[in-house]
Chains A and B, each alone.
Chain A
C-alpha cells in the first residue's frame, strides 16, 4: 500500500508505543489487538527501528494481515488488519 492509502485507512485503534524499546511495541500491539474486531485496522506508532521487521513477523505467525508502514520525523506508523 502507498503512504497515501495508509494515511486514509479507517483506523479502529491506534496505539502509541513510542515510549518503549524492543519488545515494548510488540507487547503494546498484542494488548491493543484484543480491543478491536477481526477485519478492523490497528495502527502502531513506534520509534524502535526493529519494530518494522518484528510486527510483520508477528502478523505472519498469528494470522493478522500487515498492510505496511511509513516514516514520520522520528518514528514510524505501522498498519495491520486483525485476522
Chain B
C-alpha cells in the first residue's frame, strides 16, 4: 500500500472540518419543510398543490400552505353567512366561488361542464376530492394560512371560512419568514 504523507492527511482533515461546518449551517437554516403560496383559484391548480402537500406531509415533511388572492374563495364555507358586509364586499362574495366544490378549471371550464366532468372522472378513478384532501391535510397537520390583506381586499370575513383546526390568518411577512426556513418554496 502506498503511504500517504502527513500533509495530505492534514489537508483532508481540514476539508472534512470545513464540510462539517457547512452541512451544519445548511441543516439549521433549511428545515424539512414545504411552503406553497397558492394564489390561483382554479380547481386544477389548487388540486395539484394539495396532492403534493399531502404526499409531502405523509413523508413527514412539515407543510405550510399560504392561500392568497383568488385561492381564498376555496376555503369559504358555503353554509356560513357573515353579516355586516358592504355592497362591494357582497358583490365579491357573490361572484367568487363559495368553497372547494365551486371552483373553475383553468382550461376546459366550458361554463361549469369541465369541473363537473373532472369531478366525475376523479370519482371514477378514485382520486380524492378537494374536500377529502382538506380533511386528510388536517389529519396530517398541514398548516393553512389565509392572507389577511387579500381577505380584507375582497371583503371576506374570518367567520365565513371552513372549520379547519390548523387555519390561521397572517400576512406576507409570515410567508416569507417561513418559506425562508423551508427547503422547498413554491408558488402556484
Question: What is the total number of residues of chain B having a CB less than 8 Å from a CB of chain A?
Answer: 12
Query: 8 Å CB contacts to B: which residues of A10-48?
Result: 19-24, 26-27, 29-30
The secondary-structure label for the interface of chain A is: helix
Q: Are A61 and B59 in contact (CB under 8 A)?
A: yes
Task: Assess whether A58 is interfacial by the CB under 8 Å rule.
Answer: yes
User: What are the residues of chain B within 8 A of A26 when measuring CB–CB?
Assistant: 54-55, 58-59
Task: Assess whether B128 is interfacial by the CB under 8 Å rule.
Answer: yes
User: What are the residues of chain B within 8 A of A19 when measuring CB–CB?
Assistant: 126
Q: For B128, give the chain A residue with the smallest CB separation.
A: A24
Q: How extensive is the interface on chain A, given as a class?
A: 10 to 19
Q: Are B59 and A62 in contact (CB under 8 A)?
A: yes
Q: How far is the CB of A38 from chain B (nearest CB, A)?
A: 15
> Can you list 17 A-B contacts with CB-CB less than 8 angstroms, sorted by A residue number?
A21-B125, A21-B128, A22-B55, A23-B51, A23-B54, A24-B128, A26-B55, A27-B54, A27-B58, A27-B140, A30-B59, A30-B140, A54-B55, A57-B59, A58-B59, A61-B59, A62-B60
